[in-house]
C-alpha cells in the first residue's frame, strides 16, 4: 500500500473509533433514533388498529361497508343509526361538563358507537341523543406509508437530524481536537495535513452514513418498505442519506476550520437551507438540500392534503435531472473539501485562544 494511503488509513481508523465512541456524540444517536422511535410507535398503533378492525367487524350485529356509513348524517338519532347499522361492536358512554349560556354548569350525555367495515374503524359520536359527527380511521395504504415516510424523511430527517448530526460529527473533527488540545498529535507527525483532513473526513462520513443510513434502513424495514416494490425506494433513500452526510459533512468540516463557535454557522446554514426554495436559481445550487430533494424517490409537495407553504418548503422549483443533481452535489462537496484542504494547510495550533 502506498505510504500516503496507509497514513490516511491510520487517521481513518483512529477517528472512526473516536467518532463512534465519543461521549459528546451521544445526542447524535438519539437524533438518528428519533424517527425510528416515531415509526415504531406508529407501527404498534397500526397493529392494534388492525386487530380492532377484525374484532369489531365480528362483534357488531351485521357486516358493514363504507357505503353504509355514508348514509349516517348529522342530527340523526341513535335509533336511526342502529336501524341502519345494527348494534355497534362497542359502545362508550360518558358525561361531559359544559358551561351553559346562563353560566350554569350542565352535564351532557355523550355516546360513541364503534363499528368497522373490515378496512377502517368508525366512531359515531352522539351528543344528547343526536349524531354530531362520524370519525373514520382507515387502514393505511401503501401510498400513505410512502408519503408518511417521505414527509418525515425530507422535513425532519434530512433537514434536522442529518443536518445537526453532521454538524456534531464533522465540526468536532478539528474543532473538537482544538478544544481537547490534541490536534498536535497529527500535526507533529510526518503526514501532509491534507491527508489528515482526508482521513478525518472519511471517518466522519463512514460514521455518519452508518448511523443515519442505518437508522433510515431500520425505519423502512419497520414500515415494511424493504422488499418487492419498496426495494427501489429503500436503495434511493439510503443513497440520499449517504449523499446528505457527504454534502453536509463537507460543509461542516469547512465550518469547523473557519469558526470557533458552531452555533453561528449552524444557524446560518439552517436558514440558508430553509430558504433554498426562495433563492434565485444560481444560489439554489449552493445549497445541499436543493440536490437532495430532487434525488428523493417520493415528492412530498404533490401529496394529498399538503399545505401550500409546506409544499413550497419541500418542493424543488427549478428541477434538474437526477443525474445532474447527483453531479451537482458531488461537485459542491468537492469544492468545499478543496477549500478545507487549503485552509487546513494554514491552520495554526493556538490552544490558548480556544
- For residue 40 the three cell numbers come to 415504531
Confirm or reject binding of residue 343 to other proteins (CB under 8 A).
no
Neighbours of 35 (CB within 10 A): 22
In the list 67, 75, 227, 350, the residue contacting other proteins (rule: CB under 8 A) is: 350
Strand order in the sheet with 120-127: 90-99, 105-116, 120-127, 130-138
Which residues lie closer than 8 Å to 203 by C-beta, 6 or more apart? Answer: 11, 12, 13, 14, 15, 16, 18, 19, 173
In the list 160, 202, 217, 349, the residue contacting other proteins (rule: CB under 8 A) is: 349
Alpha carbons 111 and 42: distance in angstroms, whole number:
27
Window 11 to 70, contacts with other proteins (CB under 8 A): 11, 14, 18
Nearer of residues 191 and 217 to other proteins, judged by Cβ: 191
Confirm or reject binding of residue 103 to other proteins (CB under 8 A).
no
Nearer of residues 107 and 351 to other proteins, judged by Cβ: 351
Q: Given its phi and psi angles, is residue 103 left (phi above 0), alpha (psi -120 to 50 degrees) or beta?
A: left
Least distance from C-beta 164 to other proteins, angstroms? 24
Confirm or reject binding of residue 84 to other proteins (CB under 8 A).
no
CA angle 94, 95, 98 (to 5 degrees): 145
User: Does residue 21 sit in helix, strand or coil?
Assistant: helix
Least distance from C-beta 97 to other proteins, angstroms? 60
- Residue-by-residue DSSP string for 276-328: GGGS-HHHHTT-HHHHHHHH-SS-STTSTT--HHHHHHT--SS---HHHHHHH
Window 165 to 194, contacts with other proteins (CB under 8 A): 180-182, 184-193
Q: Which of 179, 171, 177 is nearest to 204 (CA)?
A: 171
Confirm or reject binding of residue 310 to other proteins (CB under 8 A).
no
In the list 108, 129, 351, 354, the residue contacting other proteins (rule: CB under 8 A) is: 351
Nearer of residues 22 and 210 to other proteins, judged by Cβ: 22
- For residue 273 the three cell numbers come to 437551507
Neighbours of 218 (CB within 10 A): 17
Least distance from C-beta 259 to other proteins, angstroms? 17
Nearer of residues 114 and 175 to other proteins, judged by Cβ: 175
Contact region for other proteins (CB under 8 A) — 10-18, 129-137, 165-173, 245-253? Answer: 10-18
Confirm or reject binding of residue 99 to other proteins (CB under 8 A).
no
Contact region for other proteins (CB under 8 A) — 7-15, 88-96, 267-275, 287-295? Answer: 7-15
Least distance from C-beta 4 to other proteins, angstroms? 9
Is residue 207 within 8 A of residue 21, CB to CB? The reply is: no
Q: What is the dihedral of CA 90, 95, 99, 102, to 10 degrees?
A: 110
Confirm or reject binding of residue 289 to other proteins (CB under 8 A).
no
Alpha carbons 53 and 7: distance in angstroms, whole number:
61
Nearer of residues 29 and 185 to other proteins, judged by Cβ: 185
Nearer of residues 205 and 344 to other proteins, judged by Cβ: 344
Window 246 to 265, contacts with other proteins (CB under 8 A): none
Least distance from C-beta 186 to other proteins, angstroms? 7
Least distance from C-beta 343 to other proteins, angstroms? 13
Nearer of residues 311 and 349 to other proteins, judged by Cβ: 349
Residues in the chain: 354
Least distance from C-beta 168 to other proteins, angstroms? 18
Which residues form the interface with other proteins (CB under 8 A)? 3, 6-7, 10-11, 14, 18, 180-182, 184-193, 345-346, 348-351, 353
Amino acid at each position: 500500500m502506498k505510504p500516503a494511503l496507509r497514513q490516511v488509513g491510520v487517521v481513518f481508523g483512529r477517528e472512526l473509533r473516536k467518532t463512534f465512541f465519543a461521549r459528546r456524540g451521544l445526542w447524535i444517536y438519539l437524533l438518528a433514533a428519533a424517527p425510528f422511535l416515531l415509526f415504531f410507535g406508529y407501527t404498534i398503533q397500526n397493529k392494534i388498529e388492525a386487530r380492532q378492525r377484525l374484532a369489531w367487524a365480528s362483534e357488531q350485529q351485521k357486516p358493514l361497508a363504507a357505503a353504509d356509513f355514508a348514509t349516517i348524517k348529522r342530527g340523526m338519532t341513535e335509533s336511526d343509526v342502529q336501524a341502519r347499522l345494527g348494534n355497534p361492536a362497542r359502545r362508550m358512554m360518558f358525561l361531559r361538563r359544559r358551561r351553559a349560556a346562563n353560566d350554569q354548569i350542565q352535564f351532557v350525555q355523550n355516546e360513541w358507537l364503534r363499528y368497522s367495515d373490515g378496512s377502517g374503524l368508525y366512531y359515531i359520536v352522539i351528543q344528547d341523543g343526536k349524531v354530531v359527527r362520524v370519525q373514520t380511521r382507515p387502514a393505511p395504504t401503501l401510498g400513505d406509508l410512502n408519503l408518511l415516510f417521505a414527509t418525515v424523511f425530507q422535513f425532519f430527517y434530512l433537514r434536522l437530524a442529518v443536518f445537526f448530526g453532521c454538524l456534531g460529527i464533522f465540526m468536532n473533527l478539528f474543532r473538537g481536537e482544538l478544544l481537547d488540545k490534541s490536534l498536535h498529535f497529527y500535526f507533529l507527525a510526518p503526514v501532509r495535513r491534507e491527508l489528515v483532513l482526508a482521513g478525518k473526513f472519511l471517518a466522519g462520513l463512514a460514521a455518519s452514513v452508518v448511523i443515519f443510513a442505518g437508522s433510515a434502513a431500520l425505519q423502512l424495514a419497520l414500515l415494511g418498505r424493504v422488499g418487492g416494490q419498496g426495494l427501489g425506494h429503500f436503495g434511493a433513500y439510503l443513497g440520499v442519506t449517504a449523499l446528505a452526510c457527504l454534502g453536509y459533512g463537507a460543509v461542516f468540516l469547512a465550518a469547523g476550520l473557519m469558526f470557533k463557535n458552531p452555533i453561528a454557522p449552524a444557524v446560518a446554514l439552517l436558514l440558508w437551507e430553509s430558504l433554498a426554495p426562495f433563492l434565485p436559481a444560481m444560489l439554489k445550487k449552493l445549497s445541499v438540500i436543493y440536490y437532495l430533494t430532487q434525488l428523493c424517490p417520493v415528492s412530498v409537495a404533490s401529496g394529498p392534503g399538503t399545505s401550500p407553504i409546506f409544499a413550497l418548503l419541500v418542493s424543488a422549483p427549478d428541477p434538474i435531472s437526477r443525474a445532474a443533481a447527483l453531479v451537482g452535489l458531488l461537485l459542491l462537496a468537492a469544492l468545499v473539501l478543496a477549500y478545507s484542504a487549503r485552509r487546513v494547510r494554514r491552520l495554526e495550533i493556538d490552544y490558548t485562544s480556544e
